[in-house]
Amino acid sequence: MKEVELKMKERAKALLESGEVARVVGWKKGDFCFDPSPATFETVDELNEFVYDYFCGANLSKYLIQIAKKEGKTAVFLKPCDTYSFNQLVKEHRIDREKIYVIAVECLAKLDIEKIKAAGVSVVTGVEVVDKDVNVSSPYGNVTLYKPDVVLTKCATCNKTHQVKDEEIILHQRPAREVDRFAEVVKLENMTPDERFAFWREQLSKCIRCNACRNVCPACSCVKCVFDNPNSGIAAKANDDKFEEQLFHVIRAFHVSGRCTDCGECSRVCPQNIPLHLLNRKFIKDIDTNYGEYQAGETSEGKTPLTSYTESDIEPNDAVNGEAK
């Protein structure tokens, strides 16, 4: 990953120096080795802070909505999964494609610091990845963890490939693999309604309404969120009841259905570890089953499954949970 970072830095420097772009969007160092954060670099000097490592899980595409409005062209480093969100945002006219220079970068799955800590390493001072070994340095001694155990949940079932690139920096190809991202959804589907309700009730009860999921979600790109729209009939301010409180995640999941690229950011940022991606994946699975496989963000054109139809679509009464199919 170090060589990749070096190449990225070089390119960023060259692009800024030549004036080809006015800024570069990437990640910068955090206080610790495991908390780099998305950042904009406008000068070569600022690039000293530039970092790209196994903790750069954040999806940068949503930042481009605001950044693209600025004068001049913006270069951005996108991981495979980020490019789907990027395409979707271009499709929805939220980003002007002309103003963005996309550099596709390799990913090889990102690590989840929570999972590393949960594996018993309470203080992490450094991480090195060699194939499937994650060598974690700690003041209390070094530990080697098995990589698949400590990658971000969203990376565990990722099979995404770059959908958009003006150039690419890829030194190591990710090996091809078979993944089943719907296994968890199927597990829930196979439960009884009572069990499912109990599961979701427990999960959703943990929510503290911090809005992190909404803020990070690239599909939640509205100028004004429906939950803040007093005329939508669902904004909390306009209701004295608990409607919004109760159904926030349900409404949000429906709102992004057909547009959600399954980037998994919602679950990554949730401080309560609610598996929010399992809500979205249910919609994705149903769309695939009922209307043919569809991957939002694969292209930046065309209609979504919910803005198209065929005359012989499945009837809702038969479409529930795949039971009648």
Closer CB to another protein, 5 or 286, in the complex: 286
Q: 3-state class of 124 per DSSP?
A: coil
Give the tokens for residue 267: 């679950």
Smallest gap from Cβ 248 to another protein, in A, equals 9
Q: Dihedral of the CA atoms 121, 125, 129, 133 (nearest 10)?
A: -20
Q: What are the backbone angles phi and psi of residue 31, rounded to the nearest 5°? A: -75, -30
Closer CB to another protein, 9 or 91, in the complex: 91
Residues pairing with 41 in the sheet = 24
Strands (E), 147-290: 167-169
Smallest gap from Cβ 235 to another protein, in A, equals 8
Give the tokens for residue 207: 């929510």
Give the tokens for residue 70: 């600025």
Smallest gap from Cβ 306 to another protein, in A, equals 6
DSSP state of 48: G
Closer CB to another protein, 259 or 268, in the complex: 259
Closer CB to another protein, 124 or 274, in the complex: 274
Strands (E), 126-276: 126-130, 133-137, 143-146, 167-169
Smallest gap from Cβ 265 to another protein, in A, equals 17
Closer CB to another protein, 142 or 308, in the complex: 308
Smallest gap from Cβ 292 to another protein, in A, equals 12
Closer CB to another protein, 163 or 221, in the complex: 221
Strands (E), 165-205: 167-169
130, 139, 114, 131: which is closest to 35 by C-alpha? 114
Smallest gap from Cβ 279 to another protein, in A, equals 8
- What's the CA gap between 29 and 50, in Å, rounded? 6
223, 210, 229: which is closest to 272 by C-alpha? 210
